[in-house]
A and B are shown apart, each in its own frame.
Chain A
Amino acid sequence: MQTFLEWTNGNPWLTALLAIGQVLAFMVVLLLSIALLLWLDRKVLAGSMLRKGPNVVGPFGLLQSFADFGKFVLKEIIIPAGANKTVFILAPIISTVTALMAWAVIPVAPGWVAADLNIGVLYLFAVSSLGVYGIIMGGWASNSKYPFLGGLRSAAQMVSYEVSIGFVIVTVLMLSGSMNLTTIVEHQAGGFWNWNAFAFHHFPLVLVMFPMFIIFFVSALAETNRAPFDLPEAESELVAGYQVEYSSTPFLLFYLAEQVAIVLMCALMTVLFLGGWNLPFLSLPDGMSAWLSSFIYFLAFAVKVTFLFFMFAIVRAIVPRYRYDQLMRLGWKVFLPTSLVAVVAVSAYVVFVKNAGGAV
């Protein structure tokens, strides 16, 4: 990105144009990969049920997501008569925009990041807490009971699990000593044993950080309303939750926002716990061109994200849905105390061992 900035010669309009171009390129790649990840999700689910899954549109059904996209866009938008029209249309747009906004600070390779903020983690946290508005507004504006109940459930669930996600993030922040995501990734350089999920360079902490990774994974499932915590859209109780009254493009936007949020959580786990773009074993040779090495780092990042997404898909295939009180108990009575204890443990380690110049 630095090389591009030199081409603009400091002209503010060119710089702005370049920033827009970067964002567009990022979005196109992101949305294309989400279309393919969606296909992967359905294939995994099908495989676990001994079905074939999408296999008609394109080779191996790879173009299924694009066909679905066309289908949704071409259908008629139905707005219920009693609905609050403005809010009804606004809700899916807010969902999608906030889900996409969060990607601005995710570093996908050295220097490949739309906005290298010093408070990147806090920004992510702030933006992802906005995502709940799309759902709650959609549920309310539909002026129907099932969507409303689904919206309330979803909002309570997302707010609850945000708390434990916040504390898990705090442990990573304390280890890395920075809120900048690029710095957090660089702190984990040099092989998989340095990744925060294993944290062997802070040896005793592997006992804390690995459980934190697991807690983050489960909380991410709950935060994105994904199975086994997909209560907001529990078909057997609420038909489809907050999406009941939605059709056509608004529904597509809700669906897209959900998928973007899921892949975002995978990317966030990769950055915070699995070393971001760092390779697990090898280091790249010195003479390699910057573009090629960046691309290899990007591939490493993409492989990790895909692996985590695969885990998300597997969980959906094999774990039965939680009951609502169980969900709340898990969030407030198990994850929150555990992550609080972990925050205390990690801060004690940072103060008494790491900063005191002790072991390691």
Chain B
Amino acid sequence: MQLIAFYILSTVVLLSAVFVISARNPVHSVLWLILSFFTAAGLLVLIGAEFLAMLLVVVYVGAVAVLFLFVVMMLDVDFVELKQGFLNYSVIGGIIAVLMCAEIIFVASAVGAGDISNFDPSPGADTNAAALSNVLYTDNLLLFQMAGVVLLIAMIGAIVLTLRHRTHIKRQKVEDQTARHRGDAVSMVNVQPGQGIDTSDSERGATS
């Protein structure tokens, strides 16, 4: 039963990965990518790493891919223009493809040599989540914190690069709005008949 599930899921992962590359519409590519993420999460469930599977869905499918989809949808892609430059890149693209293929075969053969029949998805703990958090938050706390600081710096850098302080625009300041009193906005003026109000005087405030 598990074997059947494995073959179905891995077929879907590989096929959708192929479609990511071969789909002509970039939005379709991203949707295929999402399908392959989702199915990969299924594979993780199959080996008992259910926590990692859910994280994959929450983080990659639920957040990263959504933003990715956002960007791709709003790109104005001209397919004809895209195809014209294709041959120019084919040489360097081919070299990169061969390199990556060699790396994958190298890694796969190195891992395949080891014995994975007694693979334990949650070593030294009851659940996958506990095992993972032991490694992350207890054994490697310092590295984890450092990674957090690096990510924080990256985030601040991205904000600083894109933030523009524009003048001459109106922004809502909720504190100012809620701190405002009736006296700040309304002034009672006793208007004499036939005289009207001199608006330049109205800053003087309440007169009656």
Contact = CB atoms under 8 A, between A and B. Distances in A.
B172 A325 contact: yes
Contacts of A133: 34, 66, 69
Nearest to B58: A126
Given A129-B57, A137-B31, 6 more contacts: A87-B27, A119-B127, A125-B54, A127-B57, A133-B34, A162-B63
B19 interface: no
A233 B28 CA distance: 25
B62 A162 contact: yes
A323 to B, nearest CB: 9
B146 to A, nearest CB: 21
By DSSP majority rule, is chain B's interface helix, strand, loop, or mixed? helix
A197 interface: no
Contacts of A129: 57-58, 61-63
B15 interface: no
Contacts of A162: 62-63
A122 interface: yes
A126 B67 CA distance: 16
Contact of A136 (B61, B66, B127): B66
B1 A152 contact: no
B58 A125 contact: yes
A60 to B, nearest CB: 41
Contact of A155 (B28, B41, B61, B66): B66
Interface string A111-123: 0000001110011
B62 to A, nearest CB: 3
A129 B1 CA distance: 29
B70 A179 contact: no
A209 B25 CA distance: 47
Interface of B: 1, 25, 27-28, 31, 34, 38, 41, 50-51, 54-55, 57-58, 61-63, 66-67, 69-70, 73, 127, 129, 172, 174
A152 B51 CA distance: 30
Contact of B54 (A12, A87, A119): A119
Interface of A: 12, 84, 87, 117-119, 122-123, 125-127, 129-130, 132-133, 136-137, 140, 148, 152, 155, 159, 162, 179, 325-326, 329
B172 A122 contact: no
Given A132-B66, A140-B27, A159-B63, A126 B172 contact: no
B62 A130 contact: yes
Nearest to A125: B58
Nearest to B74: A152
A118 B73 CA distance: 37
Contact of A179 (B28, B55, B58, B129): B129
Contacts of A84: 25, 27
A178 to B, nearest CB: 10
Given A137-B31, A140-B73, A123 B61 contact: no
B1 A12 contact: yes
Nearest to B72: A140
A136 B58 contact: no
Contacts of B63: 129, 159, 162
A136 B63 CA distance: 13
B50 A118 contact: yes
A155 B70 contact: yes
B4 to A, nearest CB: 12
A152 B31 CA distance: 16
Top 5 nearest A-B pairs (CB, nearest first) are A129-B62, A126-B57, A122-B54, A126-B54, A126-B58
A275 B99 CA distance: 57
A79 B55 CA distance: 36
20 contacts: A12-B1, A87-B31, A117-B50, A119-B54, A122-B55, A125-B54, A126-B41, A126-B58, A129-B58, A129-B61, A129-B63, A130-B61, A132-B62, A136-B69, A140-B27, A140-B73, A148-B73, A152-B73, A155-B70, A162-B62
B173 to A, nearest CB: 11
Contacts of B50: 117-119
Nearest to A158: B66
A122 B34 contact: no
A152 B70 contact: yes
A325 B172 CA distance: 9
A133 B66 CA distance: 8
A179 B126 CA distance: 13
Contacts of A130: 38, 57, 61-62
Contacts of B69: 133, 136
A107 B118 CA distance: 34
Nearest to B63: A159
B66 A123 contact: no
From B1, B62, B63, name the one whose CB has the most chain A CB atoms within 10 angstroms. Answer: B62
Contact of B129 (A119, A123, A329): A119
Given A87-B31, A179-B129, A325-B172, A122 B66 contact: no
A110 to B, nearest CB: 23
A89 to B, nearest CB: 13
A213 B135 CA distance: 32
A127 B53 CA distance: 12
